[in-house]
Amino acid sequence: MNTTTLSNWLLYCRPGFERDCVQETQAKQIEAAVDSGFVVLQGKPRLAYAQLTFARQLIRLHGEVHELPERDRLTPLLAALPTEPQQFGALWLETPDTNEGKTLSGFTRRFQPLLEDKLRASGRLVDAGASTVRQAQDSARTEHLPRLHIFFPDKNRALIGTSDPHNSAATHMGIQRLKMPHDAPSRSYLKLAEAFEVFLSKEEQEKWLKPGLHAVDLGAAPGGWTWQLVQRGLKVIAVDNGPLKGVAADHPSIKHLRQDGFRYRPKQPVDWLVCDMVEQPAKVAALMADWVASGATARAIFNLKLPMKKRVTALTDALNGMRAVLDAKGIRYRLEAKQLYHDREEVTVFLARVKR
């Protein structure tokens, strides 16, 4: 009889979405306190980060230290490190994304260099920050070495785990830190900026976000997403019965149409469709699937506003509805969904046609 060894996982999420994070993995819940910003699960030996919507980070757990002494946290943490893997490409000390977690940030900043020095001295940390004659070779190797995570739910406890650089978020705590430009019409500018960073590689951004390309922004007012596209050199048709604000109101690269976003269609296919309209997720998903299936756009990024209850069910139904439309027409596509750091009660979705 074949048996599968289960693994313990640590996942970060937006506080308040712990239950959704557990539900979508279909794994056994070990710890998932409401508003804690993290969950501990027991599940398959391999989970796919890209297929998880509500998880900000995916970490394989190796151990835990309870009752950390205030005067010497270093010794018990070093003793609890796993023997395998033998080397790490980075050390990340992390805390929950909560008000309580923020109070620990000063401690982690002070503690980080002490632990790094010990790990480097023992040859277990091979990071680009190490000052060695083999620094260039080490820098290349870190792309393939697992990261070491030490997560402090509070000052007395630490969860120790590792993440695969190719199956996890590439940012500390799974959060994209972005700067808000002074001239952006709204903070929604950051949502689309983060979506590009999460869904697109650097090469894809250079290829698909460049001057000369055309986009449509449905539900554009007051203009945050439109302004993000314009800043990357695209020409934008902004569709909304409401007004655009600030620099977006009369910019030469923006054509504002006061029309219903659900009825509008461009005369010619466009490179991008973006949409942040407040409507039922199934209705927005159906609209996006129609644009891509009909060839009106090559790719789309859009938000799905989720209900307070049965979020995973509503999201699954919306995504499956899109898949059904595209599959019926034999269209190859790429579909990914993430609850971004700058999202609230919504998730952001990327959909693109894939050439055969």
In this prediction, residue 144 carries a pLDDT of 84
What digits encode the pLDDT tens for the residues 295-304? 999 999 999 9
Which domains are seen in the chain, by residue range? 7-174 (3.30.2130.30), 188-353 (3.40.50.150)
Per-residue pLDDT band for 275 (boundaries 50, 70, 90) equals: very high
Cα atoms in the Cβ-side hemisphere of radius 13 Å centred on 226: 30
To which residue do tokens 């009369």 refer?
Answer: 250
Rounded to two decimals, the pTM is 0.91
Mean pLDDT for the stretch of residues 120-134: 72
Would you call 118 a catalytic residue per the annotation? no
- What is the pLDDT at residue 199? 97
The whole-number pLDDT of residue 127 equals 79
Q: Which residue has the tokens 């632990």?
A: 115
Query: In this predicted structure, what is the pLDDT of residue 131?
Result: 46
Average of per-residue pLDDT across 215-234 = 97
HSE at residue 34, side-chain half, CA atoms within 13 A, is: 0
pLDDT at 141: 53
Q: Give the pLDDT of residue 134.
A: 42
Tell me what pLDDT residue 142 has.
62
Within its chain, how far is the Cα of 93 from the centroid?
A: 19
The residue ranking higher by pLDDT, 355 or 29, is: 29
Residue 40 contacts residue 30 (beta carbons within 8 Å): yes
Torsion of CA 328, 334, 335, 337, to 10 degrees: 180
Given 118, 179, 305, 329, the catalytic residue: 305
Q: pLDDT value at position 355?
A: 85
- pLDDT reported for residue 129: 58
